[in-house]
């Protein structure tokens, strides 16, 4: 049973058939999936979700496919961790980490959007999928596309982290490294997409792809006991994730799945070296000025964000705010999360943690409400960003004497361990 009615222009509201279309012929607005919410309301209950698969497909009715899912059976359903140790350090009482860096085939939230895009690509009859990527999408299309039996063409900026390149090549796609930044890659891909009949997950399948990000928001609410968080901080590259977390919480609210009306404020986290959305919000500017990215947060390095205006609107409508952080602050953010919660996130997660710290210190996020940090990727993929910031192991000879001399000398007994955090 399908609740996907079609696609609709986000600007002028014109309706389009549910094909591989992404831009309105009349106003050039982007297209978005439109659903039969009355139909969904009749079948979708908390109980049905609770009995569903332990993957993002437990929210299948609210995802843009017609038939059964065809990819991504191991994506989604990631932990929500009550982060009491980090919370104490930041001076807040109700802090959670939505940890999308684990329990995913390629260790980032991109496995959600790709699950949906590839399922829809099958339904639309594509045998080849492609993408323009800042790294994590490349990993995810390469891996999930292999499992689902697609030919894969993947385009990346040539200067990506080693682990993101190797973590793509290992799945044997055609990987094309472009001498240019992501915005150059994306422009090239739009041209290729108009010539070849391929399913570009974030271009001609973008209306479907983007809906996969809603499942981050659905899970947050479900895991909090059918409550929307008071504050959600999320990183932005194209700005899509931010808009979809908000959309997800509004959909749950509209469908009567929440305990209380949703009043979530959403906050945009970006690196200072590529902060077109956060800067527009901070400067109260109507326009989002494209920038040339220069930051260690390469997964977020989109200088001309496709969903920038929608992300900015969500922040404004929700009453949220934005922050930017330097590369040093990003490294500190990565180390802070690792030291307090035992979670090793990539640079994008460092941006989120560091921006959250700033927003809390500035008093913009209050101390006693429910705060969720969206941790979107795994630190093992961006090790070069922090290799000079984590110190070195203590090197000793294989003897007790050497251990005591070089490690234990002058050391007092260890302080009492803090109480561990719990998984919700
Ligand atoms: C792609 C990505 C994002 C942001 O995605 P958008 O929806 O384009 O804003 C955030 N974090 C990580 C790790 C990513 O790979
Ligand atoms: Zn339009």
Report the alpha-carbon distance of residue 354 to residue 362 in Å, rounded.
12
| Ligand 1: residue whose CA is nearest its atom 14 | 299
- What average pLDDT does this structure show over 283-294? 97
Complete domains list, the chain, with CATH: 80-107+211-385 (3.40.50.1100)
Q: Report yes or no: 131 and 409 within 8 Å, Cβ to Cβ.
A: no
Say yes or no to pLDDT of 159 above 80.
Answer: yes
Residue 418 is predicted with a pLDDT of: 63
Average pLDDT over the chain reads 96
Residue 58 is predicted with a pLDDT of: 98
Strands 265-271 and 322-325: parallel
Residue 156 is predicted with a pLDDT of: 98
**To test the ligand 1 pocket, which listed residue (104, 108, 237) has its Cβ within 8 A of the most ligand atoms?**
237
**To test the ligand 1 pocket, which listed residue (97, 105, 110) has its Cβ within 8 A of the most ligand atoms?**
110
| Ligand 1: residue whose CA is nearest its atom 12 | 376
Residue 1 is predicted with a pLDDT of: 74
Say yes or no to pLDDT of 415 above 70.
Answer: no
Q: Which atom of ligand 1 is nearest to the CA of 306?
A: 8
DSSP assignment of 93-114, as one string? SSEEEEETTSSSTTSBTHHHHH
Please tell me the number of Cα atoms within 13 Å of 310 on its side-chain side.
23
Say yes or no to pLDDT of 420 above 90.
Answer: no
- What average pLDDT does this structure show over 3-8? 98
Q: pLDDT tens across 323-344, in order? A: 999 999 999 999 999 999 999 9
Instruction: Give 424's pLDDT tier (boundaries 50, 70, 90).
Output: low
Residue 25 is predicted with a pLDDT of: 96
Percent of the chain with pLDDT over 90: 96
Q: Measure 15 CA to ligand 2 centroid, in angstroms.
A: 9
Q: pLDDT tens across 213-267, in order? A: 999 999 999 999 999 999 999 999 999 999 999 999 999 999 999 999 999 999 9
Token representation of residue 394: 């203590």
Q: Measure 347 CA to ligand 1 centroid, in angstroms.
A: 11
Q: Measure 364 CA to ligand 2 centroid, in angstroms.
A: 36
The pairs formed by 246-249 with CB atoms below 8 angstroms and a separation of 24 or more are: 246/217, 246/314, 246/317, 246/318, 247/214, 247/217, 248/62, 248/213, 248/214, 248/215, 248/216, 248/217, 248/218, 248/221, 249/217, 249/220, 249/221
Q: List, chain by chain if needed, residues with CB within 6 Å of any ligand 1 atom.
A: 108, 110, 136, 213, 235-241, 299-300, 346, 348, 376-377
- What average pLDDT does this structure show over 106-120? 98
Q: Measure 235 CA to ligand 1 centroid, in angstroms.
A: 7
3-class secondary-structure state, position 423? strand
Q: Measure 123 CA to ligand 2 centroid, in angstroms.
A: 25
Say yes or no to pLDDT of 161 above 70.
Answer: yes
Q: pLDDT tens across 29-80, in order? A: 999 999 999 999 999 999 999 999 999 999 999 999 999 999 999 999 999 9
């Amino acid at each position: 049973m399908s609740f996907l009615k079609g696609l609709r222009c986000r600007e002028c509201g014109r309706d389009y058939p549910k094909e591989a279309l992404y831009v309105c012929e009349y106003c050039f607005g982007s297209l978005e999936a439109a659903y039969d919410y009355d139909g969904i309301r009749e079948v979708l209950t908390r109980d049905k979700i609770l009995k569903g698969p332990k993957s993002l497909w437990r929210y299948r009715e609210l995802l843009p496919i017609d038939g059964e899912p065809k990819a991504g059976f191991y994506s989604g359903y990631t932990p929500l961790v009550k982060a009491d140790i980090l919370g104490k350090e930041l001076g807040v009482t109700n802090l959670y980490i939505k940890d999308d860096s684990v329990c995913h085939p390629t260790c980032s939230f991109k496995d959600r959007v790709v699950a949906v895009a590839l399922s829809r690509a099958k339904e639309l009859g594509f045998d080849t999928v492609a993408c323009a990527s800042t790294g994590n999408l490349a990993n995810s299309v390469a891996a999930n596309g292999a499992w689902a039996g697609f030919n894969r063409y993947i385009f990346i900026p040539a200067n990506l982290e080693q682990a993101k390149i190797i973590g793509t090549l290992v799945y044997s796609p055609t990987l094309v490294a472009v001498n240019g930044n992501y915005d150059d890659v994306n422009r090239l891909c739009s041209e290729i997409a108009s010539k070849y009949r391929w399913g570009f997950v974030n271009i001609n399948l973008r209306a479907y792809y983007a809906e996969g990000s809603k499942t981050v928001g659905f899970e947050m609410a479900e895991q909090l006991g059918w409550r929307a968080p008071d504050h959600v901080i999320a990183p932005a590259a194209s700005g899509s994730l931010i808009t979809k977390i908000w959309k997800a919480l509004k959909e749950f609210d509209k469908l009567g799945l929440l305990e209380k009306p949703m009043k979530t404020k959403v906050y945009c986290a970006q690196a200072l070296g590529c902060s077109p959305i956060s800067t527009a919000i901070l400067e109260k500017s109507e326009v989002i000025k494209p920038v040339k990215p220069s930051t260690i947060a390469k997964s977020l390095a989109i200088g001309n964000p496709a969903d920038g205006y929608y992300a900015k609107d969500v922040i404004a409508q929700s009453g949220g705010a934005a922050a930017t952080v330097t590369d040093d602050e990003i490294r500190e953010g990565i180390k802070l999360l690792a030291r307090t919660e035992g979670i090793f996130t990539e640079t994008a997660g460092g941006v989120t943690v560091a921006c959250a710290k700033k927003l809390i210190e500035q008093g913009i996020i209050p101390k006693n409400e429910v705060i969720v940090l969206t941790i979107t990727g795994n630190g093992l993929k961006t090790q070069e960003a922090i290799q000079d910031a984590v110190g070195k192991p203590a090197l000793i000879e294989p003897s007790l004497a050497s251990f005591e001399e070089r490690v234990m000398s002058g050391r007092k007994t260890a302080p009492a361990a803090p109480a561990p955090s719990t998984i919700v």
